[in-house]
Amino acid sequence: MVADRDAGEQGAVKSATRALDLLEYLGRWGAQKTHAEMAEELGIPKSSLTQLLKTLVNRGYLAYVPASKGYELGAAVSRLARHARGGNEVIPVAESVLEWITAQTQESCALNVIKGNVSQVVACATSPRRLLYHMRLGDTAPLYATSGGKALLAFLPDEMLKEYLAQVTFERITPATIRSAGALKRELAEVRRGGVAFVVEEFTPGIAGVARPILDETGYPLASINIAVPMPRFDDAVRDACIAVLAAAVATISQRLA
C-alpha cells in the first residue's frame, strides 16, 4: 500500500513538473508550438502530452490555434500574473487620472484592487472641500459593501464569483448593507449590464459611492475607480456627472495600459 501511494505521489509530481516545464517553455519563446514540436523538444510522450494539453486548454492556461495547429499561453496565465502584481501596473498610469477626477468633481476618489475577500485602496486623491470622505492607502473594505468592490465583483470570472459567494459572510455594517448572496447577485447583474456600481450608505453612513471597473483585454477586472460623495451633495445631477467623469477616466487608463 505504501509503495502504491509513493508511486502515485511521484506520478502527480511528474505531471506537475511537466505542466510547469510546458508553460515555461511557451513563455520563453512567446510563439505557438505544435503537439509534435513540444513532444520532441520537451521529451514528453505524445500520449501523456495529449492529456496535459487538454487539461491546460480546458483551464485556460493554454489556447489552441486551429489555423496553425499550435498552442500558446492562454488568458489564465495573464490573469494570474496581474493578480500577483496586485494592480501595480495600473497605479503609475492611474495616479494623474485620479487627480483629474477630483479636479472635475471636487470629490475624493480611489483606485481599488481585490485583496483576498476585500477591496484595497492602492491610490487615491482627496477632495479639497471641508465636508469630504477620506480614503487612505491600504484601506480595506468588504467587496459587497462598496461601489469599488461591487465593480470588481461584477466582472470576475464565474468560477471566482462562485467561490467568493460560497465563503463570504455578510455583515450588517450599516442598515443599508446587502445581507444575502441573492441580493448581491441581482445587483451585480445590473452592474455588468450598465458598467457602473453604486452604494448609498452601505459601508459608511452619510456617504454614497459610484464606481467603474478597469478591465483587461479578456474582461478581467484589474482594478476599479470609485468616487465617494457625502449625501448632502449626492443627487441625480452629481451621480450623472460622476458616471461621465469615470467613463472618461477609465477610457484614458485603458488606453495607456494598451
Q: Is the pLDDT of residue 3 over 50?
A: no
Give, in order, the Cα–Cα distances in Å from 153 to each of 77, 81, 186, 196, 203: 20, 19, 12, 12, 16
Residue 75 confidence class, pLDDT cut points 50, 70, 90: confident
DSSP 212: E
- CA atoms of 126 and 253, how far apart (whole Å): 19
Q: Is the pLDDT of residue 116 over 90?
A: no
- CA atoms of 201 and 213, how far apart (whole Å): 20
Specify the pLDDT at position 85. 58
Q: What percentage of the chain reaches a pLDDT higher than 90?
A: 74
**Residues 207, 230: contact at Cβ < 8 Å?**
yes
Specify the pLDDT at position 87. 59
- CA atoms of 231 and 76, how far apart (whole Å): 40
Specify the pLDDT at position 5. 40
- Residue where the block lists cell 485556460: 60
- CA atoms of 209 and 200, how far apart (whole Å): 6
Q: How many CB atoms lie within 10 A of CB 208?
A: 24
Name the range with the highest mean pLDDT among 47-61, 76-90, 201-215. 201-215
Domains, the chain, in order of start with CATH, read 2-73 (1.10.10.10), 81-257 (3.30.450.40)
Specify the pLDDT at position 49. 93
Bridge-based pairing state of the strands 108-115 and 70-73:
unpaired
pTM of the model: 0.74
Q: What is the pLDDT of residues 213-228, one digit of tens each?
A: 999 888 989 999 999 9
Specify the pLDDT at position 253. 96
